[in-house]
Structure 1
Amino acid sequence: MSHGVFAYTWDLVGDPEAAARIAGLGAGTVTLQAAYHSVRGITPWHPAHRVVHAEHAAAYFPLCEDRWPGLRPLAPSWGVDNPDRFGTAAAALTAAGMAVEAWLVLTHSSAVGSAHPDVTVRNAYGERYPYALCPSHQAVRDYALTIVSEVCSQYDVDLMLEACGWLGFDHGSHHEKTEGAELSATARRLLSLCFCPACRTAIGPEADRLARAVRSAVDSELQGSGPAELVDAAALLAHRTTVIGELVSEAKSLASHRRLLLMATDDPWVTGPDVGVDFQTVTPDAFVLKCWGDTQAAVRQLKAAAERTTIPLIANVTALDTEWNGVTELLQAGASGVRYYHAGLASKARLDRIRTAVAEASA
C-alpha cells in the first residue's frame, strides 16, 4: 500500500520548511508538478508569497533546445528565477526521505494550442478548443513524448500522466458562460468528440455521418426538442483508445525502469484530465482513478475497474472537499494506494485530515 500527496513546485522552492512539513503528513511519495497547465493557486505556508498565477502551461524543468523541433512548452515567467524548479523541489523532497513522481500534463495547453490551432480539438460544428491538443496529430504525440523523454533524461523519478489524450467541452474559460443552456452530461460528451482533420482521417467516411448526428442531437436539446441521446461513435472511441494506448506504450518505453501511472477512467466516452480508455487494452503500471465526491460511487467505480484489470489501481482523493472521508473503504474496494490532493493548497485543518487518513489507513 502506498500513500502520496500532490504538490506544486512553488510550494517548495524558496521555502526551506516545506519538504519537512510535507513529509510530516506521513505519506511516502509526492506527485510533483513538472509540466502543468495554467492555474491560480494559493500558498498558505510559503514565506515569500501567497497567490501564484501561472499564466500559461509550462515546463518546470530545463528544455534541451535540440529536442524540440516542433511544438514545445513555454518556460514559466512567474515566481523565482530558477530554470530547474522541478529538480530543486524534488531534491528537497528526496533529502526529506520522500519518493517523487513527476506530474506531467500532456495535451492541455492554451499557449501551445493558441499558437498552433491546426492541432487542437475541433467539435462537430467545426469549432476549436484551443486548450485541447489533439493527439491524433503526430506533432502532438511528439510533443507529449518529448516531455516524457526530457524528464526521464534529467531525473530518476516515476511518472504520473495527466491529460494523456483528449480534452473535451468541459473546461473553465476566462469567464465561462455555458451554464444557462443547461447542457446534459450526454450533450457535453457529444461536444467533446473531436472532428479535426486527423481524427476524421482516422475514422474514415463514418466521420461525416457521425458529425451530423452529433449536431442534430445537441441542437435538439439546446432548442427544446428533447434531451440529447448518445450516438453510435464506436469507431471514434476505438480510435481514441488506440491512440492513448500507443502513447502510454511509447511513454513506458521511454520511462525504462521507472513506474508509469495514468490518470484514467474505464469509460471511453470520458475526456479531460482523466482519460477514458478500455482498461483491458491500455497498460500503464497503475491506473489512477479520481475518487472525489461521493464515497460509495467511488467504491463502485473501483470495484468495477478491479473486475476489468489486474493492473494496480490508485485512488486519487481530495482533501479540499468539506465532506471528505472513506479512504479505508477505497482501499477495501481494491485500491492499492492513495494520492491525496493537495498538500500545497490545503488549510491546516485539511492537512491534519490527510495526516489522520494516512495514519488510519496504515494502521
Structure 2
Amino acid sequence: MGHGVFAYTWDLIGDPDAAVRIAELGADTVTLQAAYHAVRGITPWHPAHRVVHAEHAAAYFPIRPDRWSGLRPLAPSWAVDNPDRFGTAAAALTAAGLSVEAWLVLTHSSAVGAAHPDVTVRNAYGERYPYALCPSHQAVREYALTLVSEVCDQYDVGALMLEACGWLGFDHGSHHEKTDGAELSATARRLLSLCFCPACRTALGSDADRMAQSVRAAVDAELHGSPAPNIDATALLNHRATVIADLVREAKSLAGGDRRVLLMATDDPWVTGPDVGVDFQSVQPDAFVLKCWGDAGAAARQLKAAAQRTDVPLVANVTALNEHWDGVTELLEAGAAEVRYYHAGLASQARLERIRTAITEARS
C-alpha cells in the first residue's frame, strides 16, 4: 500500500524544513511538479514567501535547446535563480527518505498555445482555446513526449504522473470566467469541448463538416431555450482514444521498465481536462489515478466500477483541502491500491493532520 502527497518545487526550495515536514506525514512518495500550468498558490509554511504567482506554464528542469524542435516549454520567469528547481527539490525529498514521482502536465499551456495558436483546440464554431494544445498535431505529441524523455534522461525518478494527457475543453483554463449566466448543461459543455482543428478534421474525414454543424445547432438550440439534441460523436471519440492510447504507450516506452507511468484519468471518453477521458480497457498505463475529491461514497462507487473494467491498479487521488473529508478507508476497501493526497504544500496545519491521520489509520 503506497501513500504519497503532492507538492510544488516552491514548497521546498528555500525551506530547509519542508522535506522533513512532509516525511513526518507518514507518506513514502511525493508527486513533485516537473512541468506545470500557470497557477497562483499559497505557501503557508515557507520562511521567505507566502503567495507564489506562476504566471505561465513552465518546465522546472533545465531546458536543453538541442533536445527540442518546434514547440518547447518556457522556464519559470519568476524564478530565474535556479534553472534546476525540480532537481533541487527532489534531492531534498530523497535525503529525507522519500521517493519522488515527476508530475507532468502535458497539453495545458497558455504560453505555448499563445505562441503557436495553430496547434490549439478549436471548437465547432472555429474558436480556439489557447490554453489547450491539441494532441492530434504531431508537434504537440512531440512536445509532450519530449517533456517525458527529458525528465527521464535528467532524473532517476521512480514514476511519472501524467496530467492533461489528451484534450482540454471548454471548462478548464480561461481567466475571470464569465460563462455561468448562459446556464449551459453538461451536454452542451461537452459539445463545446469537441475539437475541430485541422488535424482533428483530417482524422474525421468527410464527416467533419457535418458533425461540426450538428454541434453548433445543438449548442445554439440550448442557448436559445430548447434542449440540446443528442449528437453521435463516436468517430471523434474513437479518434481521441487512439491518440491518447498512442501517447501513453510511447510515454511508457520512454520511461523504460524501471519507471511507472501513472495516468490521471476517468473512464468516460467524453471527459476533457486534467483527468483524461478514456475507456479503461483501451489504455494501459501502470496505474490509473482517479480523482476522488467529492463525496466519499460516490468516490468509492467510482472505484468499484473502475475495478470491474480494468486489471490496471487504481490510485485514489484525494484532497485534504475540502471542508468535509472522512479519510480513505472506504476508498481502499473499494479497490484503491494506493493513495495520493492533495496537497502537502497548500494545506493548513489542521489539514496536514488529516493527511497524517488518514495514512496512520490506513496502515493500521
What TM-score range do you get, normalising by the shorter chain? over 0.9
Is 195-204 or 166-175 further displaced after alignment? 166-175
How far off its partner does 1:229 sit?
Answer: 3.6
Render the CA deviation track for 1:234-257: whole Å, top value 9, x for unaligned.
Answer: 010010010000000000000002
Q: Which residue of 1 aligns with 2:86?
A: 86
Q: Which residue of 1 aligns with 2:196?
A: 195
Rounded to whole Å, the distance in 2 between the matches of 1:23 and 1:221 is 51
Is the Cα–Cα contact under 8 Å of residues 131 and 174 in structure 2 kept in the other structure? Answer: no
Gaps of 5+ in 2: none
The amino acid of 1:146's aligned partner reads: T
Q: Which residue of 1 aligns with 2:76?
A: 76
Rounded to whole Å, the distance in 1 between the matches of 2:274 and 2:229 is 24
Q: Which residue of 2 aligns with 1:224?
A: 225
Is the Cα–Cα contact under 8 Å of residues 293 and 299 in structure 2 kept in the other structure? Answer: yes
How far off its partner does 1:300 sit?
Answer: 1.2
Q: Which TM-score applies when normalising by structure 1?
A: 0.99
Rounded to whole Å, the distance in 1 between the matches of 2:295 and 2:126 is 36
Q: Which residue of 1 aligns with 2:143?
A: 143
Q: Which residue of 2 aligns with 1:39?
A: 39
Q: Secondary structure at the match of 2:187?
A: helix
How far off its partner does 1:172 sit?
Answer: 4.3
Is the Cα–Cα contact under 8 Å of residues 190 and 230 in structure 1 kept in the other structure? Answer: no
Is the Cα–Cα contact under 8 Å of residues 113 and 119 in structure 2 kept in the other structure? Answer: yes
Is the Cα–Cα contact under 8 Å of residues 312 and 336 in structure 1 kept in the other structure? Answer: yes
Gaps of 5+ in 1: none
Q: Which TM-score applies when normalising by structure 2?
A: 0.98
Is the Cα–Cα contact under 8 Å of residues 29 and 98 in structure 1 kept in the other structure? Answer: yes
Rounded to whole Å, the distance in 2 between the matches of 1:218 and 1:52 is 38
Identity rate, percent: 83
Q: Which residue of 1 aligns with 2:21?
A: 21
The amino acid of 1:23's aligned partner reads: A
How far off its partner does 1:68 sit?
Answer: 0.7
Q: Would you say 1:303 and 2:292 are equivalent positions?
A: no
Q: Which residue of 1 aligns with 2:245?
A: 245
Relative to 1, partners in 2 of residues 1:229 and 1:100: Cα closer, same or farther, differing over 3 Å? farther
The amino acid of 1:12's aligned partner reads: L
How far off its partner does 1:151 sit?
Answer: 0.2
Is 164-173 or 268-277 further displaced after alignment? 164-173
Q: Secondary structure at the match of 2:262?
A: strand
How far off its partner does 1:174 sit?
Answer: 2.0
The amino acid of 1:52's aligned partner reads: V
1:260-299, aligned counterparts within 5 Å?
Answer: 260-299=261-300
Q: Which residue of 1 aligns with 2:335?
A: 334
Is the Cα–Cα contact under 8 Å of residues 52 and 79 in structure 1 kept in the other structure? Answer: no
Relative to 1, partners in 2 of residues 1:218 and 1:61: Cα closer, same or farther, differing over 3 Å? same
Q: Secondary structure at the match of 1:204?
A: helix
Is the Cα–Cα contact under 8 Å of residues 280 and 310 in structure 2 kept in the other structure? Answer: yes
The amino acid of 1:252's aligned partner reads: K
Render the CA deviation track for 1:11-56: whole Å, top value 9, x for unaligned.
Answer: 0001000000000100100000000000000000001100000000
Render the CA deviation track for 1:291-326: whole Å, top value 9, x for unaligned.
Answer: 011111111111111011000000000000001124
How far off its partner does 1:203 sit?
Answer: 1.4
Q: Which residue of 1 aligns with 2:313?
A: 312
> Which aligned segments of 4 or more residues in structure 1 are displaced greater than 4 angstroms?
none
1:83-162, aligned counterparts within 5 Å?
Answer: 83-157=83-157, 158-162=159-163
Q: Which residue of 2 aligns with 1:212?
A: 213
Is the Cα–Cα contact under 8 Å of residues 9 and 86 in structure 2 kept in the other structure? Answer: yes
How far off its partner does 1:63 sit?
Answer: 1.1
Q: Secondary structure at the match of 1:166?
A: coil
Rounded to whole Å, the distance in 2 between the matches of 1:48 and 1:30 is 22
Q: Secondary structure at the match of 1:208?
A: helix
Q: Which residue of 2 aligns with 1:66?
A: 66
Is the Cα–Cα contact under 8 Å of residues 61 and 84 in structure 1 kept in the other structure? Answer: yes
Render the CA deviation track for 1:186-210: whole Å, top value 9, x for unaligned.
Answer: 1110000000010010111111111
Q: Would you say 1:259 and 2:243 are equivalent positions?
A: no
Q: Secondary structure at the match of 1:340?
A: strand
Is the Cα–Cα contact under 8 Å of residues 110 and 130 in structure 1 kept in the other structure? Answer: yes
The amino acid of 1:88's aligned partner reads: T
Render the CA deviation track for 1:247-284: whole Å, top value 9, x for unaligned.
Answer: 00000000002111000001000000000011101000
Rounded to whole Å, the distance in 1 between the matches of 2:320 and 2:249 is 32
Q: Which residue of 2 aligns with 1:184?
A: 185
The amino acid of 2:179's aligned partner reads: T
Is the Cα–Cα contact under 8 Å of residues 106 and 163 in structure 1 kept in the other structure? Answer: yes
Is the Cα–Cα contact under 8 Å of residues 135 and 141 in structure 1 kept in the other structure? Answer: yes
Q: Secondary structure at the match of 1:205?
A: helix
How many aligned positions are there?
362
Rounded to whole Å, the distance in 1 between the matches of 2:210 and 2:325 is 44
Rounded to whole Å, the distance in 2 between the matches of 1:116 and 1:278 is 30
The amino acid of 2:212's aligned partner reads: A
Rounded to whole Å, the distance in 2 between the matches of 1:47 and 1:215 is 52
Rounded to whole Å, the distance in 1 between the matches of 2:125 and 2:89 is 44
Q: Secondary structure at the match of 1:260?
A: strand
Rounded to whole Å, the distance in 1 between the matches of 2:19 and 2:288 is 26
Is the Cα–Cα contact under 8 Å of residues 10 and 79 in structure 1 kept in the other structure? Answer: no
